[in-house]
Amino acid sequence: MQHAAAQPASPGPRDLGEIGVEGEQQMMECGIGQQLSIQRMRPPRFDGADPMAKPGRNDPCPCGSGNKYKKCCQPKDEAAERDGLAAAQARREERAAEQRQRDHELHTEVAAWLRQAEEEDLLDDALEDASNAVIDLVKAGKLDEAEAASRALLARYPQAHDGWDRLGMVHEARGNSREAADCYRRVLDFLRDHPDYTDDDGLATLYTGLIAKLEPPAAT
Ligand SMILES: [Zn+2]
C-alpha cells in the first residue's frame, strides 16, 4: 500500500470545497491523510448544541425539566455567574492590595537605605573634617592637641585608618620615628584586617615606604 503522505498530487485542499457529501464520503475512504486535510478545510458542523452557548430565555431549559429556561434554571445560572464575577473581582482586589503592600515595603526599605547612605556620608564628612583638623594642629605646632585629636579619631572611627595615620604624623612631628613607624604598622594591620576597606593598593605601599624611611636599616 502506498502511503498517503507520498501522494502530494492527490486532490489539493483548494478543490475540497467543491466536493459534495457523496464525494466527501469517497474522499474519507481514500486514506487518513486525506481525511485529515478535509477536516482542516471544513469548519466543524454544528447540530445546534454548543455546550458553551447560553440557552435563550424562552428556550426549553437544558436541565430537561420541560419548562422555559427563564422559568427554570436561568435565575440560578445568573446568580452563579454573578457570584463567579464577584469572586474574580475580589481576587483581583486582593492581588492589587498585596501588590500595594509590597510596593509600600519596598519604598520603606529604599527610604531606609537612602537615610543610611546619607548618615554614612555625614559620618565620612565629619571624619574628614576631624582628620584634617589634626593636620592643621600639627602645622600650628599644637602637638598635644593634635595627639588628643588623633586619639579621639581612633576612638570614634575604628572603621577608618585615619586615627593611626594622624597619630603617626604627630609622632613624626615630635621626631619620635619609632613611635611613628609603630603607628604606620598599625595602619598596615588595619588594611590587612579590612580587605574591603579600599581598592587603593597604593595605600599599603605608601605606609610600607613611610616605615622604611623612618626605620632605615642599621648601618653596619
Ligand atoms: Zn432547569
Distance of CA 90 from the midpoint of ligand 1 (Å): 29
Range name among 25-39, 96-110, 140-154, 173-187 with the lowest pLDDT average: 25-39
**22 Cα–ligand 1 center, Å:** 40
d(CA 86, CA 103) in angstroms, rounded, equals 25
pLDDT-derived band at 200 (thresholds 50, 70, 90) equals confident
Cα 51 to middle of ligand 1, angstroms? 15
- Model confidence pLDDT, tens digit, residues 142-178: 999 999 999 999 999 998 999 999 999 999 999 999 9
pLDDT value at position 191? 95
Give the burial string for 57-94 (b: 16+ CB within 10 Å, else e): eeeebeeeeeeebeebbbeebeeeeeeeeeeeeeeeee
**What is the whole-number distance in angstroms between the Cα of residue 75 and the centre of ligand 1?**
10
Taking the centre of ligand 1 as the mean of its atom positions, its distance from the CA of residue 70, in whole angstroms, is: 9
Tracing cell 590587612 back to the chain, one arrives at 192
As a whole number, the mean pLDDT across the chain is 83
**68 pairs with which residues across the strands?**
60
pLDDT band at residue 86 using 50, 70 and 90 as cut-offs: very high
Considering the entire predicted model, what is its pTM?
A: 0.52
Nearest to 177 by CA among 140, 218, 130: 218
Calculate how far, in angstroms, residue 77's C-alpha sits from the geometric centre of ligand 1: 9
What count of other Cβ atoms lies within 10 Å of the Cβ of residue 159?
11
Is residue 8's pLDDT more than 70? no
CA distance 75 to 53: 16
Q: Are 61 and 72 in contact (CB under 8 A)?
A: yes
The C-alpha cell 466536493 sits at 19
**Distance from C-alpha of 140 to C-alpha of 81, rounded to nearest angstrom:** 88
